[in-house]
A and B are shown apart, each in its own frame.
Chain A
């Protein structure tokens, strides 16, 4: 090794060079790294040693080597934000997610309509509950935090999370679902505080964003498990998830989980808001499949566009969830759906929450298809697309309702993974 190279390397590693880089405004990681300095090369401090910044101490950030990001949904749609700063739908990179929780910064985003992000001062924000109650009440954020709280894991999934033969990656096909620990007060606690009248059957939840998105939901669900949430994964809600207050309707379609919650009106009928009109269906069986999400699972590794390096052992891994309750079992097939093998669940499954599943697989290098299916605690089993098509007497690829069918991934001889519906 020439002395010139050695001295450059020494310079890069020295505090003087790093301080110089920072002083010049050049991010340290943007400097050229010498990959011969891998661990085991025998030199001390084999990696660049970055100084902390005040920001890194105050509020952490991920490694610059971790680069997975959210993308517009559906694939090829208008980018978010657009030229005016409005956001549309954005899918979470679930192919890179590990464990059961979605990082708040990677949670999928959906909007009732293209929208700006309301910049709400929590000191000024209030929730009004009125309608068929004995005492209409208005709560400040401070009031809400004085009630007994709950912290629960729940998934959110957009009704537009439908996988088709066109999708290349699991982010494109299944990225409109996320799971967080939500903290807040049960809506039933607030409704009891207001004194629910006996004639109450539905309520309308409304947000404070520019379109004031509003949806009708059954009172029975409110009295069961709905959370008025102010916390997400240990901190206040992210603005993109409705800061400072949102409603979490466990297991119900994403759009019903009203963000920027400002008002709840207790009523005695389905109120046919604009968002409700969006749920209007001709046939009873299609309407019945709305609201509560069916049991669903998908393999996130290996998944579309990923590459298996060769035959041998792999942990097939994915996510399972259901709007009907907790996941009871997940099965994985590695032979195109002929034989189903029990998968391991990586945590005690929670009601209406993602659970990570895994199956240890020894790939022999032959072409095959892998897929998963789940069953929830009320006995609902995730169907195949063929079963759903047969039920509706419609061609595969044109079935109504939320698509919770089995998702196959094809594994080619060279280890390439592609959409098994294609």
Chain B
């Protein structure tokens, strides 16, 4: 990857000096140069409008808030109940409410997103981008915070009086902690797993 890094400001200045030209490169421009000059410069507003990713630090989260109680109402009003059942015990859609004991290790419990996910932000992100089926992307931030709170409460991860917002959501401690495998660094022309029977 080293060869792909943009030449630093000092590097460009040094080249300019060597060439005997005036150093007109400001630090902001002292970056890699485009080769083809294709594509349109994209503003921060345009990016905000299209970027629906929410990483675990929550930096992309919009302002808003919601509680488990509010979430229970949204769950009915938005029709989540039709597929996921009352209290999210399942129906034509998957069960989202764990019935296993909290004493069991997480990997012996159900594969339910608001239970096994390492980050509550992933739950928030998926509800916003993918639900409800047929009306994806129409929930307000408050509704998404409330639904996330409700599902985390049903799975006994947060107490009923919790208010989730853009500050508190990234701090929710999920039961999995860091007990999950990390992907090994990928390299070209390299076997997936040394010692695997090949």
* Residues on A facing B (Cβ under 8 Å): 113-114, 128-130, 134-140, 143, 146-147, 189-190, 192-198, 204, 206, 210-212, 214, 218-221, 223-225, 262-263, 265, 267, 269-274, 276-277, 279-292, 294-295, 323-325, 377-383, 387-388, 390-391
Contacts and interface: CB of A to CB of B under 8 A. Distances in A.
Interface in B1-50: 1, 4-6, 31-36, 38-42, 46-47, 50
B84 to A, nearest CB: 14
Nearest to A288: B193
B56 to A, nearest CB: 6
B186 A220 contact: yes
A270 B181 CA distance: 12
A135 B34 CA distance: 9
A195 B189 contact: no
Nearest to A193: B34
A329 to B, nearest CB: 13
Interface of B is mostly: loop
Interface in B92-111: 107
B191 A324 contact: yes
Contacts of A277: 113, 116-118, 122
Kindly name the residue among A143, A212, A388 whose own CB sees the greatest number of chain B CB atoms within 10 A: A212
B35 A193 contact: yes
Given A211-B129, A220-B186, A273-B53, A281 B180 contact: yes
B179 to A, nearest CB: 7
Given A220-B187, A220-B188, A138 B40 contact: yes
Interface in B108-165: 113, 116-119, 121-122, 125-126, 129-130, 133-134, 136-137
26 contacts: A135-B34, A189-B36, A193-B34, A193-B38, A196-B4, A196-B32, A198-B6, A212-B52, A214-B53, A218-B185, A220-B186, A221-B186, A221-B188, A223-B1, A272-B121, A273-B122, A274-B129, A277-B113, A277-B117, A277-B122, A285-B196, A288-B181, A324-B189, A378-B190, A387-B197, A391-B195
Nearest to B29: A134
Contact of A138 (B46, B129, B183): B46
Nearest to B105: A282
Nearest to A389: B197
B55 interface: yes
Contacts of B198: 294-295, 379-383
Contacts of A224: 188
Interface of B: 1, 4-6, 31-36, 38-42, 46-47, 50-53, 55-56, 107, 113, 116-119, 121-122, 125-126, 129-130, 133-134, 136-137, 179-193, 195-198
A210 B113 CA distance: 19
A189 B185 CA distance: 22
A114 B121 CA distance: 23
A271 B55 CA distance: 6
A281 B181 contact: yes
Nearest to B137: A212
B45 to A, nearest CB: 11
A280 B196 contact: no
A271 B32 contact: no
B6 A195 contact: yes
B183 A128 contact: no
A288 B42 contact: no
A295 B193 CA distance: 12
Given A128-B47, A224-B188, A193 B183 contact: no
A262 B129 CA distance: 14
Given A291-B183, A292-B186, 9 more contacts: A113-B130, A130-B47, A189-B35, A220-B188, A223-B4, A280-B181, A288-B183, A379-B191, A391-B196
A292 B183 CA distance: 11
A403 to B, nearest CB: 13
B98 to A, nearest CB: 16
Given A137-B39, A273-B125, A292-B192, A263 B186 contact: no
Contacts of B35: 189, 192-193
A253 to B, nearest CB: 11
Contacts of A136: 41-42, 47
B41 A137 contact: yes
